[in-house]
Amino acid sequence: MTTVVELDVPADRLGLARAFDRVPTFECQIGGMIGDGPPLVRVSGPDRRTVAQALEADPSVEVIANVTGGSGTEASADTGTGTGADADADADVDDDAGTDRNRWLFRLEFGERLKLFEEIVSENDGAILSANGRDGRWALQLLYHDRESVSTAHRLLEQYEYRVEVTRVSGTEDLDRVRTPLTEIQYETIAKAHELGYFDVPRQVTLEELAAELGISHQALSERLRRSHAALISAELSDRLTPLAIDP
């Protein structure tokens, strides 16, 4: 049975511990880690400059790009840590951009600890749905194919001293209580795709084969997957984490 696991991990086991120590109000959100590229991370703190400096000083991550709030496009890896009037002016513009003045997007390359965590999860038929950091801890939501995979992954996480604390284990029948922006149809589609290895690298099932398993056309499945991914991303960027009542 597909299983959702929610757990906490200390930041010094996973990443960004120094940023949390340096900026007590620092928070971050990652809306899933499907894919091999550095993820987009939504961060918050007292101001953009302070957050950017904390990220630059943290040895567990590399700042690849600062995504500007005003245009929504990726800038260079310049995080506003320079000096002088130009840097101050840039910081003022960035801090006032967007509707949320205390949140910014960065593309971060995480270190080996998070990469190993991802590897342990993925090699045991799991996927990271979301990861939120605050107060020196990470809260993660993981999706596994079955309870046996959960047990195997948990033993490995203990072996590598991640000091995980499981806060909740639930199945798809608990969908109404699981924090997710997906409708029931979208959730079941993502769960079946994960179960059959659609998100594996390389894929274990094609889009056509998955569509046949679900009894829908491959075009309908493609649209449903895109809507599901968009819902997950939008929820993490807007903090909208309650299930929708109807399927769009």
Coil vs helix vs strand at 42: strand
Give pLDDT, residue 212. 93
Q: With beta carbons less than 8 A apart as the criterion, state whether 68 and 75 touch.
A: yes
Chain centroid, CA 1 distance in Å: 23
Angle among Cα 59, 82, 52 to the nearest 5 degrees reads 40
Do 194 and 107 sit in the same domain of this protein? no
Do 19 and 103 sit in the same domain of this protein? yes
Tell me how far apart the alpha carbons of residues 218 and 189 are, in angstroms, rounded to a whole number: 12
pLDDT in tens, 66-83: 985 543 344 444 444 443
Among 112, 130, 150, the domain-final residue is 112
Q: Is residue 83 in a domain?
A: yes
For residues 59-70, average pLDDT: 83
The answer to whether residue 7 scores a pLDDT higher than 70 is yes
pLDDT in tens, 98-133: 335 678 999 999 999 999 999 999 999 898 888 999
For residues 161-179, average pLDDT: 72
At residue 34 the predicted structure's pLDDT band, cuts being 50, 70 and 90, is low
Higher local confidence (pLDDT), 22 or 241: 22
Question: For 85-125, where are the E strands, in sequence order?
Answer: 103-110
Q: Is residue 97 in a domain?
A: yes
Higher local confidence (pLDDT), 245 or 56: 56
pLDDT in tens, 176-205: 444 566 777 888 888 889 889 898 878 899
Give pLDDT, residue 107. 93
Q: Is residue 187 in a domain?
A: yes
Do 185 and 107 sit in the same domain of this protein? no
Q: Which domain holds residue 188?
A: 180-248
Q: Is residue 163 in a domain?
A: no
Q: Is residue 122 in a domain?
A: no
Q: What is the mean pLDDT of the chain?
A: 79
Sort 85 into a burial class: Cβ within 10 Å, 0-12 / 13-18 / 19+: exposed
- Tally the domains of the chain: 2
Q: Is residue 50 in a domain?
A: yes
Give pLDDT, residue 53. 96
Helix axes 207-214, 184-195, angle to 10 degrees: 130
Q: pTM of the predicted model, to two decimals?
A: 0.62
Angle among Cα 132, 133, 137 to the nearest 5 degrees reads 125
Q: Is residue 132 in a domain?
A: no
Q: Is residue 168 in a domain?
A: no
Give pLDDT, residue 201. 79
Among 112, 127, 151, the domain-final residue is 112
Among 61, 96, 112, the domain-final residue is 112
